[in-house]
Amino acid sequence: MNANNDTIKQQLHQMIDAIDDAQVLNVLREEAATYILQKDVAEYDDDRDPIDYLTPEQLQDLEESIEEVERGELITHEELLRNMNTWLTDLRTQGDLKKR
Does residue 57 sit in the same domain as residue 91? yes
Does residue 38 sit in the same domain as residue 70? no
Burial group, residue 60, by CB count within 10 angstroms (0-12, 13-18, 19+)? exposed
Does residue 71 sit in the same domain as residue 39? no
Q: Give the domain range for residue 34.
A: 1-43
Angle at 58 between CA 54 and CA 62, to 5 degrees: 110
> What is the pLDDT confidence band of residue 98, given thresholds at 50, 70 and 90?
low
Between 100 and 63, residue with greater pLDDT? 63
pTM higher than 0.85, yes or no?
A: no
Average of per-residue pLDDT across 58-86: 92
**Integer Cα distance of 23 and 83 in angstroms:** 34
* 18-62 pLDDT, tens digit each: 999 889 998 999 898 888 877 776 666 667 777 887 889 999 999
Does residue 59 sit in the same domain as residue 95? yes
